[in-house]
Structure 1
Amino acid sequence: MIGKITDKGIGSFRNRIEYIFGLRKHEHALTTIRTIGRNCFSPDPLRNGHEKDKIDVEGMIAEFDAVEKLRDNAIDSDRVVKPVWHAILALPPGEHLNDKQWSEAIDMFLSDLGFDETNKWVAVLHGDTDHEHCHIVANRIRLDEEFSMVKDSNERSRSCDSTGRIEDHFGLSKAPAPSETWGTAISRAQMEAAEREGTIPLKHKMIAKIAGAVEATQQAHGDMFMLVSLLRRQQVYVHFTKNADGQPTGISYEHQGTVISGRKLKRSRLTFQKLTTQEGIEYDPETFRELEIEAARRDAEREERVRVFYLVLRARNRRPIRLSFKARQQKELEDTIKAIIALLLSLLGIRANWELEDKKPGEPYYQLRSDWVTLPRAEQEQELAIAWEEDPALAL
């Protein structure tokens, strides 16, 4: 079972309640909706049927919204609170709980997250996808004398512990913990848009790049310097936040002009603390200034590496000639070799005309047309094709 807690909201519960009862645009078809449980006096919005014109959520919205108004009248405080709480419990494909079991699972989950009988809540089951899932909307304000709030510290950690307890209780398959995977939730709408446009959402693209760099650093028993260097090769750049002592307290990642903190990307693995403790990326506080300088670099890593190229000369009815060269930049190598070839041809009385022709995507060919002035015209046109090929084994 997977438990997901969405961002908390302020103000009215209208949007969330209308959403879970199918009155707002949804990511999947809604033909099976059932109210599994609720802790409020208002009647079940589905009591008159499931058609949109028969679903009546007004009483429930008014009851949920009234709690914050009561609190505002009873407590003299300017502190802004976020009472709107929305969570989803989802089973993997093929697994099933009946309504009674779902009700028990919801009670366990809400209790583990700190809700009690003084909180307003409603739970609705959606059974239209390949995996059953239940939406829970709750009010974090308790109807007690202090109108206390349900605390949200370590909320996601407690959510994982609770879903694990539910899995054990009902004999469900165990979902991997977030600290064991790189996966992140992606909505159906995002996936469909990515398929149409041939793109992957930026957040998921960034996580894939960072995950590869982290795993490569782990395999090499590397440190933060290695991780920063590997990320730069992926065009992912690192920013640090510091405390008063000048030591890092957080890390953010930049890709394609967008900066996202490690906490928002994947708080269970990509914060600075998780990288250095859980993921085993070595870090020496004495070297942080040098690490900042390294992280600030933006030059392409491949321009610093020695690259091996092959020059292939092919002429009609002649065996190809293959020469290897090492260089840091391909353009410098090309200019040098072109000058050498032009010099050799000039010694033979050949006038050369270079033309760039793309034979294959990403594989440049230079077409050399030469005029042999001492031969009959029928033999004047000769072609010499020069292809550049890069050795897959790059020497550092």
Structure 2
Amino acid sequence: MIGKITDKGIGSFRNRIEYIFGLRKHEHALTTIRTIGRNCFSPNPLRHGHDKIDVEGMIAEFDSVEKLRNNAIDSDRVIKPVWHAILALPSGEHLDDDQWRAAIEMYLSDLGFDETNKWVAVLHGDTDHEHVHIVANRIRLDEEFSMVRDSNERSRSCDSTSRIEDHFGLSKAPSPTETWGTAISRNALEAAEREGTIPLKHRMIAKIAGAVEATQQAQGDMFMLIQLLRQQRVYVHFNKNNDGQPTGIAYEYQGTVISGRKLKRSRLTFQKLTTQEGIQYDPETFHRLEAEAARRDSEREKRVRIFYLVLRARNRRAIRLSIAVQNQKELEATIKLIMAILLALFGIRANFEFEDKKPGEPYYQLRSGWTSLPQVEQERDLTEAWEKDPILAVNH
């Protein structure tokens, strides 16, 4: 669940109330508008259905609270009573009206609202996902006309939506620690509402943050960071000065490129990464670093297979070597090199050729054109071991 608190407003509630009841232009199509709950005396604006939406009574009731406060309290302090939040579910998830009302009441309580605050919540449905808009008055109808405090409200909002997700078994959205406290813009949230996804910017930050923290723990450098990002399908671009040194960094994910300054200027610029975040960087290596950053999916590391070469001489202890290779050709070349080195120690030169492994044989045989070389014999006791991992055995 995504929780978004929009900018607070002063004066009348008209714009916000008309907006949530579909009387003002929306950025997405509205297939459903339904009042989920309210804490006010005015009638439901949708009591006559969508044909005649009457919000005048509700607007007047919300606006009257500030007038009462102004008459009771002599203060020139400018206040912002208009509070608007959105709770959005990912695509495919659903809460019924009773669950939505319970979730809204949990959310408002966690944000500091109580029964003395007027509020209304309206559900918007478009295609396959749903979200609610909550408009509330921050002025309490108590003796002091106290205000709901907004300190740390974004952090409390994230904690509350996490609690709601746990309570109703919903999928988990990235926490502030994963997104490094980056707020979701209204445009990003509305796009996420249309698509039923977490905003792209926040998915990028979550991936980059994980790579940065892993690099920090390993006391790694920019090469490690770029490699970890590539595993997350996040690619790096550099801006350079006339001396060919990086002055900025941008991140690419799913075809979208965003500069580190726009993603999180306090942590994700090149300067912040190498100074504040402690990611090691050597200017002498920038050309190699740039080449590393240019790698893409087609150039990802191939799967490495581990083979074992067992060398046995009669009445002598076996020597077991592990060989890490990417393909059969590399394996053969490596074994030839090892054998040539070993034989060279005894003054023997040899060129080895691999024969195709015959059905049922547990290893590849080696043949040599040198008559002075002992004949290679097959080891019968390696069949079981071969089934567990490839073993190449040579006896002489």
TM-score by structure 1 length? 0.53
**Which amino acid is the alignment partner of residue 165 of structure 2?**
E
SS at match of 1:63: helix
Q: How many residue pairs get matched?
A: 256
Deviation at 1:86, TM superposition (A): 0.7
Aligned to 1:38: 38
Deviations 1:62-100 (A, max 9, x none): 111111111111111111111111111111111111101
Distance 1:307 1:90, change over 3 A: closer
Cα distance between partner residues in 2 of 1:302 and 1:18:
60
Distance 1:155 1:25 in 2: 28
Deviation at 1:204, TM superposition (A): 8.4
Partner of 2:172: 174
SS of aligned partner of 2:126: coil
Asked if residue 103 in structure 1 is aligned to residue 62 in structure 2, the reply is no
Cα distance in 2 for partners of 1:97, 1:81 equals 34
For residues 284-331 of structure 1, the C-alpha deviation after alignment (integer angstroms, 9 at most, x for no partner) is xxxxxxxxxxxxxxxxx89986999xxxxxxxxxxxxxxxxxxxxxxx
Deviations 1:130-167 (A, max 9, x none): 32111100010101111100011111111111112112
- % of aligned pairs identical? 76
CA contact (8 A) 2:31 2:127 kept: no
Instruction: Give the C-alpha shift of residue 31 in structure 1.
Output: 2.2
Report the CA distance between 1:20 and its aligned residue.
0.6
CA distance in 2, matches of 1:10, 1:27: 23
Name which of 201, 218, 221 aligns with 2:219.
Answer: 221
Q: How does 1:57-206 map to 2 (within 5 A)?
A: 57-181=55-179, 185=184, 187=187
Residue by residue, what CA displacement relative to the aligned partner does 1:264-295 show, whole Å, maximum 9, x if unpaired? x79xx779xx999xx98249xxxxxxxxxxxx
> d(CA) in 2 for partners of 1:73 and 1:152?
24
8 Å CA contact retained: 1:223, 1:281: no
SS in structure 2 opposite 1:72? Answer: helix
Deviation at residue 232 of structure 1 after TM alignment: 6.5
CA distance in 1: counterparts of 2:10 and 2:21, whole angstroms: 20
Checking the alignment, whether the CA contact within 8 Å between 1:114 and 1:150 is kept in structure 2 is yes
CA distance in 1, matches of 2:218, 2:102: 47
**Aligned residue identity for 1:35:** T
Q: Does 1:28 align with 2:28?
A: yes
Residue 259 (structure 1) shift: 7.7
- What is the rounded CA distance, in whole Å, between the counterparts of 2:202 and 2:39 in structure 1? 37
Mapped to 1, the partners of 2:206 and 2:96 lie a distance apart of 37
Structure 2 match to 1:370: none
What residue ranges of structure 2 are gaps of 5+ in the alignment?
A: 193-198, 226-236, 241-245, 250-257, 291-396
Q: Any unmatched runs of 5+ in structure 1?
A: 193-200, 238-254, 284-300, 309-396
Query: Contact (CA 8 Å) 1:2, 1:91: kept in 2 or not?
Result: yes
1:8 equivalent in structure 2 = 8
**1:117 Cα deviation after fit:** 0.6
Report which of the two structures shows the higher radius of gyration computed on alpha carbons. Answer: 2
The TM-score normalised by the length of structure 2 is 0.53
In 2, Cα distance between equivalents of 1:205 and 1:124: 28
Secondary structure (helix, strand or coil) at the match of 1:23 reads coil
Q: Is the 8 A contact 2:13 2:63 kept in 1?
A: yes
Deviation at 1:185, TM superposition (A): 4.0
Distance 1:307 1:259 in 2: 20
Alignment CA distance shift 1:122-1:180 (3 Å): same
Question: 1:153-202, CA deviations, whole angstroms, 9 ceiling, x for partnerless residues?
Answer: 1111111111121122222222221321478646379869xxxxxxxx9x
Contact 1:217 1:281 in 2 (8 A): no
